[in-house]
Amino acid sequence: MHHLSIALALVIALSGCATWLANPPALRDRPDAPGTFAAALARGLPAAVGVYGVSVPTELATNASAAGAVALRRSTDRGERPPWTDVDTRTRMGAGFFVSADGLIATAAHVVTDAPSIVVKLPDQRVMTAELVAADADTDIALIRIAASLRAPPPLGSSASLRMGDWVLAVGEPYGLDRSVVAGIVGGRGRHFAEDGELLFIQTDLSLNPGNSGGPLLDMRGNIVGMNLRTIVGPFGTPGLSLSVPIEIVRQIVNELASHGRITRPRLGAGFEDVSPFAALAAGRTHANGALISSVSAESLAWRIGLRAKDIVVGMNGRPIGDSADLARVLLSWRSASGTKITVFREGRYQQLVMD
């Protein structure tokens, strides 16, 4: 009887193991997970490309991917030839996607800026050089052009359709691995950080690595709803969160770059962030709403209009500012500095600042 009990327990354990293998925890614990992402990828993958900023060792840009540089150095130290380059070349690995069928591609500016040569790898494995149309360092978005076209317009979607908890996919070239795909869920929308000016992000738990920067974020219909840009790593290397720029902002930036070669709208020149509960209490307010000014650049528009660090912006040009994302959205649609009105809470009272 004792041996029978052991045998029965072993059968149950093996059965449980088989169930775990057939239905791994990553999907089992997410009841809404689709059985496959293949249909979404079939729609979105044709618009995704690999992007490489190439330079010789003496011209290696200082903002090259640190992790990619380490991987390259380890390979060459072992006498190996890395799969994405040769021993005499250094690359900044990244990704991108077509924003029009006639060869215009959006990517991350830090991948291609100051690179003597830009190389694009297409879905059919063709490799060709690209021309840098323009780049915007403030938003880290660049527009490049190749002498190739898509058979159909790229599937550019809308990030407004995303909900917290929705599945999304990222396509890129992490560590030079061709067209790698990872899946995750949306953790938040309209995220803003003080150092990013008017830029907003979609927050996800995607596992992004060097080589994913500039690649497309896909929804479950295969539409491109954002550009993957960076990962925030927690203390001691703990898993962090990943950030993607909404496709609406990407399209606005690349359209301005295509038309003017630069961003022509006003730039505020101030860092701002959400008002923390402690900042609200320190300012004598009972609600943590508005956008807290954290820094003001000398001679900037913010400096000229009279903004100061620790001001809490609650309105701009007649639009209420509930958080830093609201201020970023207003700045994205800002077209003329003249006559600008900003309402702030400063030293216990509301004040209106006006640009002459």
**Residues carrying an active site annotation:** 110, 140, 213
Closest CA to 341 of 312, 308, 318: 318
**CA geometry: angle at 12 spanning 6 and 17, to 5°?**
125
Give 301's DSSP letter: H
Question: Rounded distance, CA 314 to CA 151, Å?
Answer: 47
| Six token digits for residue 74 | 């380890």
Which of these, 205, 202, 348, 355, lies nearest to 268 by C-alpha position?
A: 355
Gap between the Cα atoms of 120 and 336, Å rounded: 37
Q: Which residue has the tokens 């709803």?
A: 225
b vs e for 133-151, b when ≥16 Cβ sit within 10 Å of the residue's Cβ? ebbbeebbbbbbbbebeee
Q: Single out the residue of 146, 113, 105 nearest to residue 128, CA to CA.
A: 146
Tokens of 215: 């690649």
Q: What single-letter DSSP state applies at residue 100?
A: S
| Gap between the Cα atoms of 162 and 186, Å rounded | 8
Whose structure tokens read 């890129």? Answer: 172
The Cα 132–Cα 281 span in angstroms is 48
Note whether 213 and 229 are within 8 A (CB): yes
Categorise residue 264: left if φ over 0, alpha if ψ from -120 to 50, beta otherwise. alpha
